[in-house]
Structure 1
Amino acid sequence: MEGAEDKSAEDTASAEPDSSTSTPDLDVLIDKWKRALAEAENARKRAEASHLEGRHHGIATAVEALAPAYDAICGAVEAAQSGPDANNPRITAHLDGLGSIKAAFETGLKALGVRTIAPKDTPFDPVLHEAMQIHETDEQEPGEVLVLHRPGFAIGSRLIRPAHVTVSATPIRPADT
Structure 2
Amino acid sequence: MLTKRLGHMKAVASPQHLSLLQQLGCSYSTKKQQQDVQHQQKPQQQELQSQQQESKEPLERGDADENGAISEVEWLTQELAAVKVEHGDLLEKYKRALADGENMRKRLNKQIDEAKIFGIQGFCKDLIEVADVLGHATQSVPKEKLSSNGDLRNLYEGLSLTRASLLQVFKRHGLETLDPINQKFDPNLHEALFQTEDDSVEANTVVQVTKLGYKLHKRCIRPALVGVSKR
Q: What TM-score comes out, normalization by structure 1 length?
A: 0.66
Note the C-alpha offset of 1:168: 1.2
Structure-1 residue corresponding to 2:164: 103
Give the counterpart letter for 1:121 in structure 2: N
Measure, in 1, the Cα distance between the counterparts of 2:144 and 2:194. 27
> Does residue 156 of structure 1 match 2:180?
no
Structure-2 residue corresponding to 1:54: 115
Which of 66, 86, 110 is the equivalent residue of 2:146?
86
Q: SS at 1:121's partner residue?
A: coil
Larger helix fraction of residues: 2
Measure, in 1, the Cα distance between the counterparts of 2:104 and 2:132. 41
Give the counterpart letter for 2:228 in structure 1: V
Note the C-alpha offset of 1:138: 1.0
1:62-98 CA distances to partner (integer Å, 9 max, x unpaired)?
1111221111100011111x45523332222222211
Provide structure 2 residue ranges, at least 5 long, that are not aligned to the other structure. Answer: 1-94
Give the counterpart letter for 2:120 in structure 1: I
> Does residue 74 of structure 1 match 2:135?
yes
Measure, in 2, the Cα distance between the counterparts of 1:167 and 1:87. 36
1:93-129 CA distances to partner (integer Å, 9 max, x unpaired)?
2222111111111111111111211111111111101
> Does residue 127 of structure 1 match 2:188?
yes
Give the counterpart letter for 2:187 in structure 1: P
Give the counterpart letter for 2:139 in structure 1: E
Measure, in 2, the Cα distance between the counterparts of 1:144 and 1:94. 36
Larger strand fraction of residues: 1
Distance 1:125 1:105, change over 3 A: same
Q: SS at 2:139's partner residue?
A: helix
RCO greater where, 1 or 2, for CA within 8 Å and sep 6 or more? 1
Larger Rg: 2
Structure-2 residue corresponding to 1:6: none
Q: What TM-score comes out, normalization by structure 2 length?
A: 0.52
Distance 1:132 1:86, change over 3 A: farther
Q: In the comparison of the two structures, how many residue pairs are matched?
A: 149
Measure, in 2, the Cα distance between the counterparts of 1:87 and 1:140. 36
Measure, in 1, the Cα distance between the counterparts of 2:100 and 2:192. 46
Distance 1:40 1:85, change over 3 A: same
Measure, in 2, the Cα distance between the counterparts of 1:111 and 1:37. 40
Note the C-alpha offset of 1:136: 0.8
Give the counterpart letter for 1:118 in structure 2: D
Give the counterpart letter for 1:112 in structure 2: H
- The alignment yields a C-alpha RMSD, in angstroms, of 3.1
Provide structure 1 residue ranges, at least 5 long, that are not aligned to the other structure. Answer: 1-33, 171-177
Note the C-alpha offset of 1:152: 0.9
Measure, in 1, the Cα distance between the counterparts of 2:186 and 2:118. 23
Give the counterpart letter for 2:219 in structure 1: R
Distance 1:143 1:35, change over 3 A: same
Structure-1 residue corresponding to 2:173: 112
